[in-house]
Structure 1
């Protein structure tokens, strides 16, 4: 079957003529004058492949993602080796401008076959809309961060609405892993209320994650560029890096799924563990827009959960927080079916659930909760948490002996002495990060 192709660019005449003379493997169904026209033609289902003969510098990861979502492969014509490398980074096949028609047809067939044979899932939540945040690269700094192994893991910290403590736990997990000697990158991917910078006492004048996504979208994000936009945070026991979140809620369009995927993939090369603080909302929100390819407010959360190796589902241990977590876990299973969350009850205290709070919570969970059992209980310690937040520090600095700090450290296998008198360690927790 002949592959329908659309073309764009001033140099398209020679391309079109050569392909049409082949009379077979591909058929040019429309000649477009600009990328927006090509995008509209592809979204209408007119083509299976797009040949960009001119203007490939305008191709971005988000545009490639949108076309890939409707089953359209892109082939760019360029003689610039650096541009070809950039295009490969965002998933675009390229060939030389003087390519023979038969060779170009073969390249088109290969690109379409590769796209068809690759599981799709990257199209949802992305888009070309961008508010255009100012890109400011920070000067490189020499910081005492352990070298990464090159095969990093991703931990996503998620929880339902109602402030169950996602951000506070994510930040302290990063600190404990850094104290353990691991290379760690903490990412604030909350598109509703980014607050990692506030928790750590950092200036949030620039959104590090938005900068990284911008570079990724343009195919310019390499390991060195990611290190430049990630802020080093030094504690008494170790140093980790942070990609701060968006500085205003209306900048959520900068956290597009395609670009974020590239950022997290690069992050695994510079960190042993990538800790992602996600938003709470899991709605796919197609009903909010007639354009199903428009940017998605929850794309950052959904994509982070999709690619995570471990997902911590955090809920508040009180009569409001527990039902919210139960409903949230059902939503999580529906939105990201392959995830097996590690359920963490936070702010555990007798005043909220009665005597022997862990036993009360576990018994209630076994009767009414979902199939995922509770893995850990984090005790309420408002004085330690308040002191850490007030000083813009982590528990390992402000309250190193607190039960809450020890429980978080134990959750991620940091080498901290357990207190046998604490009911938090009454049962053996599941160790999640070995080695």
Structure 2
């Protein structure tokens, strides 16, 4: 007989666990915890296969539930102890009138279901709110009579929109400029568009759009998701409505200080993205440059990770716009980073855009030089878009806190962003046979080749 050790929290669980012990079955109680801290410590130590919670359930969040699950325990909550919210986060509800046999059976079923779940997970596979079971509980729901909802299945959240991640290597290739203008052009094409600033190193979407009253919208949304209270209405209240050229883009602003990055936990970011993809046609995400996973090899493997937000965005993305600067440093960085991006976003379509194209940094034939280097040293997708460098138009837009469609509607750089938006919305083209471009020995191609051979 396989023993299933259970940890209990709250005095309301005591009569039930006493009855379970008298059954002398496989389910046995190994720890009666006095507070939530003791329960989390016991779960992280791997003392139990299940946790039965009553008092203290209101303090549980998705991040804490993730710690319990990573410790190998399934969560069960007694009915009447914030059970509706926790059920939306994946907990099993034990009915108020359940006898010890029923409770033991629920424990066995919960443990079996947890054991059957895939063990190989990424940054966001252990998600706080399972999208197939998520229940959104609005603020003040505790004061409502929930008797009419007993036994009802939580409403499912079906993802209908697309997520577009804008990524670029370190060195200011123009991620934020691309993200905000791409979101604006998508809105002008009729898309219900959201813009999310998930950069944990240099969040700047709010400043670029002239939003002086910045309130860390993404952090607020993550907090609601962590509590299991992020429904569509809550997300729309958290996002700021920004008017761009007669259209509206919903913006989740970034962190107000860089040291707040622990608020963007992977599970919460994943839940926000899934909810946004359900609510909006396209969600454009400005994500950070760092994709290293070395932080996993730390003493505290459950601690938040600064790169987790970017990795989670790429995992969830349908389209990744990879942006690099058109110079002898930016292009090699982009070339070297693309394999890592492709590995982090295995199901996404990759669109490569070279930004800040100018003769002064790339030679007399800048596009030809980059294509030559790409053909000789690149192993991934070809460059789909070249964005010209127009510092006067870009500076004017930045000074006005606007997008190019408002301040420089006829400029070539704005036309490039319009083309990018159209390509994001269009289905991917079937790969065809492309003729190798003639190698002309451009100065840029030679410099990039020397850089990459180092």
**TM-score interval for Structure 1 and Structure 2 normalised by the shorter chain:** 0.7 to 0.9
**Residues 163-312 of structure 1 mapped to structure 2, 5 A cutoff:** 163-286=172-295, 289-312=298-321
Work out the CA distance in 1 between the residues paired with 2:376 and 2:115.
45
> 1:73: which partner in 2?
74
Q: Identify if the C-alpha distance between structure 1 residues 205 and 238 changes in structure 2 by more than 3 Å, giving closer, same or farther.
A: closer
**Does residue 349 in structure 1 map to residue 348 in structure 2?**
no
Deviation at 1:219, TM superposition (A): 1.4
Deviation at 1:366, TM superposition (A): 1.9
CA deviation vs aligned residue, 1:2-27 (integer Å, no higher than 9, x gap): 32221211223223212223333423
Q: Secondary structure at the match of 2:194?
A: strand
> 1:432: which partner in 2?
424
Query: Is contact 2:358–2:366 with CA below 8 Å preserved after alignment?
Result: yes
* Between 107-116 and 295-304, the greater mean CA deviation after superposition: 107-116
Deviation at 1:334, TM superposition (A): 4.7
**Does residue 54 in structure 1 map to residue 63 in structure 2?**
no
Work out the CA distance in 1 between the residues paired with 2:83 and 2:280.
27
Query: Is contact 1:282–1:298 with CA below 8 Å preserved after alignment?
Result: yes
Deviation at 1:166, TM superposition (A): 0.6
Deviation at 1:87, TM superposition (A): 1.3
Query: Is contact 1:126–1:293 with CA below 8 Å preserved after alignment?
Result: no
Query: Is contact 2:83–2:93 with CA below 8 Å preserved after alignment?
Result: yes
Query: Is contact 2:314–2:344 with CA below 8 Å preserved after alignment?
Result: no
Work out the CA distance in 1 between the residues paired with 2:162 and 2:113.
27
CA deviation vs aligned residue, 1:156-178 (integer Å, no higher than 9, x gap): 11111111111111111110111
Work out the CA distance in 2 between the residues paired with 1:123 and 1:111.
21
Deviation at 1:327, TM superposition (A): 2.3
CA deviation vs aligned residue, 1:168-209 (integer Å, no higher than 9, x gap): 111111101111111111111111111000110002431111
Q: Identify if the C-alpha distance between structure 1 residues 201 and 123 changes in structure 2 by more than 3 Å, giving closer, same or farther.
A: closer
In the alignment, structure 2 segments of 5+ residues that lack a partner are: 129-138, 140-157, 428-454
> 1:411: which partner in 2?
420
Q: Identify if the C-alpha distance between structure 1 residues 341 and 109 changes in structure 2 by more than 3 Å, giving closer, same or farther.
A: farther
Work out the CA distance in 2 between the residues paired with 1:150 and 1:333.
22
Q: Secondary structure at the match of 1:342?
A: strand
Q: Identify if the C-alpha distance between structure 1 residues 110 and 409 changes in structure 2 by more than 3 Å, giving closer, same or farther.
A: farther
Deviation at 1:124, TM superposition (A): 8.5
Query: Is contact 2:159–2:274 with CA below 8 Å preserved after alignment?
Result: no
The alignment's TM-score, normalised by the length of structure 2, stands at: 0.82
Work out the CA distance in 2 between the residues paired with 1:124 and 1:291.
19
> 1:64: which partner in 2?
65
CA deviation vs aligned residue, 1:59-101 (integer Å, no higher than 9, x gap): 1011112222333221111226xx3331122222222233222
Query: Is contact 1:178–1:237 with CA below 8 Å preserved after alignment?
Result: no
Runs of 4+ in 1 over 6 A off after TM superposition: 123-127
Coordinate RMSD, CA, aligned: 2.3
* Between 333-342 and 92-101, the greater mean CA deviation after superposition: 333-342
CA deviation vs aligned residue, 1:348-369 (integer Å, no higher than 9, x gap): 1222222332222122112112
Query: Is contact 1:48–1:73 with CA below 8 Å preserved after alignment?
Result: yes
Work out the CA distance in 2 between the residues paired with 1:125 and 1:49.
17
Q: Identify if the C-alpha distance between structure 1 residues 71 and 332 changes in structure 2 by more than 3 Å, giving closer, same or farther.
A: farther
The alignment's TM-score, normalised by the length of structure 1, stands at: 0.85
Q: How many residues align?
A: 396
From the CA coordinates, give the structure whose radius of gyration is larger.
2
Query: Is contact 1:125–1:293 with CA below 8 Å preserved after alignment?
Result: no
Q: Secondary structure at the match of 1:210?
A: helix
Work out the CA distance in 2 between the residues paired with 1:404 and 1:170.
14
In the alignment, structure 1 segments of 5+ residues that lack a partner are: 128-136, 138-148, 414-430
Work out the CA distance in 2 between the residues paired with 1:308 and 1:316.
22
Work out the CA distance in 1 between the residues paired with 2:346 and 2:192.
30
> 2:167: which partner in 1?
158
**Residues 22-37 of structure 1 mapped to structure 2, 5 A cutoff:** 22-37=23-38
* Between 309-318 and 99-108, the greater mean CA deviation after superposition: 99-108
* Between 324-333 and 175-184, the greater mean CA deviation after superposition: 324-333
Q: Identify if the C-alpha distance between structure 1 residues 123 and 179 changes in structure 2 by more than 3 Å, giving closer, same or farther.
A: closer
Q: Identify if the C-alpha distance between structure 1 residues 337 and 151 changes in structure 2 by more than 3 Å, giving closer, same or farther.
A: closer
Q: Secondary structure at the match of 2:425?
A: coil
Q: Identify if the C-alpha distance between structure 1 residues 270 and 339 changes in structure 2 by more than 3 Å, giving closer, same or farther.
A: closer
CA deviation vs aligned residue, 1:7-50 (integer Å, no higher than 9, x gap): 21122322321222333342322222122212122222222221
> 1:360: which partner in 2?
369
Q: Secondary structure at the match of 1:341?
A: strand
**Does residue 39 in structure 1 map to residue 26 in structure 2?**
no
* Between 109-118 and 54-63, the greater mean CA deviation after superposition: 109-118
Work out the CA distance in 2 between the residues paired with 1:273 and 1:259.
19
**Does residue 388 in structure 1 map to residue 382 in structure 2?**
no
Deviation at 1:340, TM superposition (A): 4.8
